[in-house]
Each structure stands twice: as structure tokens, then as C-alpha cells.
Structure 1
Amino acid sequence: MSRPREEKYQAILDAATEAFAEYGFFNSQISKIAKLAGVADGTIYLYFKNKEDILISLFTERMGQFINEIRHEIEECQSAKERLLRIIKTHLRYMQENRSLAMFTQIELRQSNPTIREAISGPLREYFHIIELVLTEGVNKGELLLYDVKVGRQMFFGTLDAMVSDWVISKKPRSLEGMEEVVFDLMCGAFKIGEIN
């Protein structure tokens, strides 16, 4: 994709993020997205088949960026404990910095039809896989006490997910970034980090 074309594509995705967060997916007409992006309605169809295609592309692209950031953050870590803390910090910071994206992912995607849910499941499964690898490594090295890695991943992700959901719907939200240590302490207790041996 040429640079001007890529810039327009990103502008449409940014506009869609804002529209979906503000109006909801079903109430966001292509014309609203086009207006926010500063393009003609017809231009949208040069990049996307329909509104569902925008939603799928948006989630896949933004989650891809998020996952790349997670991978980068944990690659230099020496222990599972460090990796878990980095994942927590990156997850909460990324959502705090991208509130419209957080609103969109926490509220709108949960109401999507089964076809859309299936189309966006790949990046989410990739994130789950990263968490499971970190937990498995921690168990294998004796850093974590965990009897079921999948349940551990569900608990870990579920905690972060619930915090972001609460932050999105709160009328007076606390800073997510200020909650990193609280979540980490909770995970340390749950996974018995530092108590093994």
C-alpha cells in the first residue's frame, strides 16, 4: 500500500474507533465514519467491503499492534514474574492511552454477531497463547505454583479485562496505570509467586 493510501486507511480506522466508541457499532453509519475520517462516503468502499469489514480490520490491526508491543516488552525479561508484570503494565497502559479503543473492545465487540466474533478471535487467541506460555514457563522453572495453566490464563486475563471494563463504564475512573502493582500483588498471591522452594 502506498503511503497516501496507508494514511487514508489508518484515518478511516481511527475514525471508526471514535464512531464505534461514541455511537456504538450499529448506530455508526458509514457516512459518520467517512465524515470523521475526512473522506467521501464512497472512499470507504475502496478500502473496506462494509462496516463489518471495518470492524474486523480495526480489531485485527489494533490487536496486532498491541500484541507486538507485548512481545517487545517481555522479550528481555529474565523471569515469568517480570513478564507477568510487564504484560499487566502494557495492557493497562495501552488501554489507558487508547480509551476509544478500550470502549470499543470492552462494550461493542461483546455484542457482535457470531461471524464477527469468529473473525476477530485470532488475535485474542494469540494474546491468550502468550500469557499461557509465560505461565507454563513459570511453572516449569518453579517460579509459579499453578495446577491448570488455562484456568490461570483465564483468571489473569479476566482480571485485566474486568478492570478495563470497569474503567470504561465508570463516571469517575481511576487511572489504570496506577493499578498495576495492585493487580500484580493479586497475581503473586494467586500464583504463589516468590513462595516456592
Structure 2
Amino acid sequence: MKRDKPKYKQIVDAAVIVIAENGYHQAQVSKIAKEAGVADGTIYLYFKNKEEILISVFREKMGDFVEIVKNAIKKEITATEKLYEMIDSHFRWLHGDRHLAIVTQLELRQSNKDLRYRINEVLKEYLVLLDSILKEGIEKGEFDEKIDIRLARQMVFGTIDETITSWVMNDQKYDLLKLAPEVHRLILNGMKS
């Protein structure tokens, strides 16, 4: 499989930097190749086009992040604590990689409808984890039993997402990690019975 090839990760990591610094539309394959330290033609051994690179960036990075969240919520802790772990992990993930934060929060949003659909497919695994936390919280009486899971998922993800986007749009001038407890508190207040 392509992902096992040695230069694949190099190209994906280079694409994050180039897309963040130049914008998706100005991120030429030649710039990505140069950043990755490979010949332009090498890119096409791994990817059909620039769109495939963007999808692969999101798939690979989101896959890594989903594993972080899975490990965080595997612990024997309450659903309330799992929700905090998810919020804190999401903030830490993007706080630790400013280029990736720009790509996920700004550049992926400017893509066409088909590309956004494919990105949403990648996001599904993360949302399934969020649903499992919400269901557990309802079952254990931590969250209001009348909660609409779909609406709660949108509220939680939307709040996390918008908080990170605002941080990126403000040139990451403040400490995103300090916001995790407050975001958690506000979300919990909306879900308690």
C-alpha cells in the first residue's frame, strides 16, 4: 500500500507546511516536492493530483488524532471526563502543529463540495467516538436523557471547531490549551439535566 512507501509520510508532512504557508490553491506540487526533498515526478507515484494530497493529509493526520482520542477515552473514567479528554486532546493536537491547524481550520474549508464530502467521510470516525461518549453519559445519568445525540454532537464539535478556528484566525496569539476547561464547562452546562 502507498502509505507504507518511504516517501509517503515525507510528502504528506511537506504538504501540510506548503499548504499552510501558501494556501491550497497556490500550493503547487513542485513546492510540495521541494519541501519534501523529492523530485516532482515522485509525488505522482503516490498521488494522482493535488486534491489527493489534501485528502491524504487529512486522512493521515486525522487517523493519528483519532488514535490519540481512542487511547484517552479508553481509561476507566466518567463520560464527563472523557469529553474533557476529547476537547483537551483536540486542542493539544492542533496547538502542537500550527501548520496543521491552518490547513484543517482554513484551507480544507475552501475546497470544493466533492472534496469537502470526502473530508467529512474521514471525520466520521472522530464523530463516532464523540457519539459513544455522549451515549455513555446519557446511560450513566451524567447527561440529560432527553438529549438529541445528533444535535449534541453538532454542538460539541461545532464549539471545539469554532474555538480552534478563532484561535487560528487570531494568529494563534493566545494559549488555546487554557480554553479547554472553559469550553468543557460550557458544553457540560448545556447537557446536564
| TM-score, normalisation: structure 2 | 0.93
1:152 match: 152
2:78 match: 79
Contact 1:156-1:187 within 8 A present in 2 as well = yes
Q: Which amino acid aligns with 1:23?
A: N
- Which runs of 5 or more structure 1 residues have no equivalent in the other structure? none
2:177 match: 177
Matches within 5 A, 1:8-87: 8-87=7-86
**SS state of the match for residue 5, structure 2?**
helix
Shift of 1:171: 3.7
| 1:155-177 deviations in Å (ceiling 9; x for gaps) | 11111101110111104621111
* Residue correspondences, number: 192
| TM-score, normalisation: structure 1 | 0.92
2:119 match: 120
2:89 match: 90
**SS state of the match for residue 25, structure 2?**
coil
Q: Which amino acid aligns with 1:183?
A: V
State the alpha-carbon separation in 2 of the partners of residues 54 and 188 from structure 1: 37
**SS state of the match for residue 120, structure 1?**
helix
Q: Which amino acid aligns with 2:159?
A: T
Contact 1:17-1:101 within 8 A present in 2 as well = yes
| 1:42-63 deviations in Å (ceiling 9; x for gaps) | 1111111111111111111110
| 1:27-81 deviations in Å (ceiling 9; x for gaps) | 0111110111111111111111111111111111110111111001100132111
Contact 1:77-1:83 within 8 A present in 2 as well = no
Which piece of structure 1 moves more, 102-111 or 165-174?
165-174
State the alpha-carbon separation in 1 of the partners of residues 79 and 167 from structure 2: 27
- The structure-2 alpha-carbon separation of the partners of 1:180 and 1:17, relative to structure 1 and needing over 3 Å to count, comes to same
- The structure-2 alpha-carbon separation of the partners of 1:122 and 1:170, relative to structure 1 and needing over 3 Å to count, comes to same
Shift of 1:2: 9.5
| Identical counterparts, % of pairs | 44
Shift of 1:140: 1.4
Contact 2:3-2:9 within 8 A present in 1 as well = no
Which piece of structure 1 moves more, 111-120 or 99-108?
111-120
Q: Which amino acid aligns with 1:59?
A: F
Q: Which amino acid aligns with 1:53?
A: E
- Which runs of 5 or more structure 2 residues have no equivalent in the other structure? none
Contact 2:147-2:191 within 8 A present in 1 as well = no
Contact 2:72-2:86 within 8 A present in 1 as well = yes
Superposition RMSD on alpha carbons, in Å? Answer: 1.8
